[in-house]
């Protein structure tokens, strides 16, 4: 069985926490963590600056919601994604998409970043990622007891798809 990883870079509530393209590019090039955990350090940095002096408890609650949503999304997308055969390990695509309150895809997924040594492989990976997102709804956050009322946490998603 092929192994693959999907990392959710950001679950942004508003444009105030959206990442700049250069930051996304740097994160997208990072290697997959050995335990397939998310690197939320950039998100913590963005949330700290966006919190405007919020107490530690509210920041921790927000991070717990982010981590839970990221885990649910990653698991859900992994079930829908069919990784193309023979894709170079250095190939990465970052796709963003928006979900409605019922966990359904709103609009079309948007390619944010693509890299890889072979153009055809990058196109194949991009298409497989978009196909997974389109076919994977509804996403489970809408029915999750902890996240259902935290729509601001999981409305906007950026996901990195890469072979491993």
What is the Cα–Cα distance from 71 to 6, expressed in whole angstroms? 10
Question: Looking at residues 83-90, what average pLDDT do you find?
Answer: 93
Q: How confident is the model at residue 33 (pLDDT cuts 50, 70, 90)?
A: very low
Q: What is the pLDDT of residue 62?
A: 62
Task: Give the pLDDT confidence of 36-48 residue by residue, as tens digits.
Answer: 333 343 434 344 4
Q: For residue 157, what are the β-bridge partners? A: 11, 97
Domain residue ranges in the chain: 4-163
The mean-pLDDT minimum among 21-35, 65-79, 124-138 falls in 21-35
Which of the two residues, 7 and 129, has the higher pLDDT score?
Answer: 129
Q: What is the pLDDT of residue 64?
A: 87
The mean-pLDDT minimum among 12-26, 85-99, 117-131 falls in 12-26
Q: What is the pLDDT of residue 30?
A: 34
What CATH code is assigned to 4-163? 3.30.1150.10
Tokens of 48: 């700290």
Q: Is the pLDDT of residue 151 over 70?
A: yes
The mean-pLDDT minimum among 36-45, 104-113, 124-133 falls in 36-45
Q: What percent of the chain has pLDDT over 90?
A: 57
Query: Nearest CA to 160 among 60, 48, 68, 23?
Result: 23
């Amino acid at each position: 069985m092929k192994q693959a990883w999907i990392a959710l870079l950001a679950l942004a509530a508003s444009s105030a926490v959206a990442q700049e393209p250069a930051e996304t590019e740097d994160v997208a090039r990072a290697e997959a963590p050995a335990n397939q955990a998310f690197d939320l350090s950039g998100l913590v940095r963005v949330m700290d600056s966006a919190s405007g002096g919020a107490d530690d408890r509210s920041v921790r609650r927000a991070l717990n919601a982010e981590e839970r949503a990221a885990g649910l999304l990653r698991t859900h997308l992994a079930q829908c994604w069919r990784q193309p055969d023979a894709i170079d390990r250095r190939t990465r695509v970052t796709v963003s998409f928006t979900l409605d309150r019922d966990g359904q895809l709103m609009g079309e997924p948007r390619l944010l970043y693509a890299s890889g040594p072979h153009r055809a492989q990058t196109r194949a990976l991009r298409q497989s990622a978009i196909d997974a997102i389109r076919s994977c709804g509804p996403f489970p956050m809408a029915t999750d007891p902890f996240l259902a009322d935290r729509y601001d946490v999981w409305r906007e998603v950026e996901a990195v798809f890469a072979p491993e």
